[in-house]
Amino acid sequence: MLMIREIVTQELDIALFSDFHRHQQVNQCWRKVNGEWIVVDNPFTEDWGEREYRYLAACLQNTIAAGGVVYGAFLDGKLKGFASVENTFFGIQRQYLELSSIHVSEDCRGSGIGRKLMEAAKEWAKRRGARKLYISAHSSVESQAFYRAMGCREAEEYNQASVEKEPCDCQLELSV
């Protein structure tokens, strides 16, 4: 049985991710070239290990400590997806809150977990007065297909800090 719920700081350690597998074989990515979006060959493998999960746990703890939220998707008590939203408004009209992460374990992709996590994140942001989620999103063709299916589009305003941190990401927004 799937349950979406907030994760509390005390849960955020490497053991939480013992049944979560962040693996992705990427072959093509979206890139903006001369103002136009094109798909380019860019093969690589993402496969998180202990170091990445330790860093992730610390980042998610910081999100909660700063007033943000982390949602987990638990299938039979095992973490199979998570999403986090930061609590700092930005944008010319202070309309954005950042969806700082959303990931689904490789063995559960395509099952609707990502959609449920996105809905929880949108609802949390809306309750706080945001009009849009801002997403600096992985540029792989598969990741972008997910975001487009959720209703995301290219951000009207780019968050320069996000662009500098991840220059190959696609900068997206989603109305809440």
CATH code: domain 2-175 is 3.40.630.30
pTM over 0.85: yes
H or E element that contains 133: strand 132-137
CA angle 107, 62, 158 (to 5 degrees): 80
Q: How far apart are CA 74 and CA 83, in angstroms?
A: 12
Q: Where along the chain do its domains lie?
A: 2-175
In contact, 175 and 152? CB cutoff 8 Å: no
In the chain, the largest separation of any two C-alpha atoms, in whole Å, equals 47
**Residue carrying structure tokens 């998610």:** 60
Name the CA dihedral angle for 153, 158, 160, 165, rounded to a multiple of 10 degrees.
10
pLDDT by residue for the chain (176 residues), tens digit each? 999 999 999 999 999 999 999 999 999 999 999 999 999 999 999 999 999 999 999 999 999 999 999 999 999 999 999 999 999 999 999 999 999 999 999 999 999 999 999 999 999 999 999 999 999 999 999 999 999 999 999 999 999 999 999 999 999 999 99
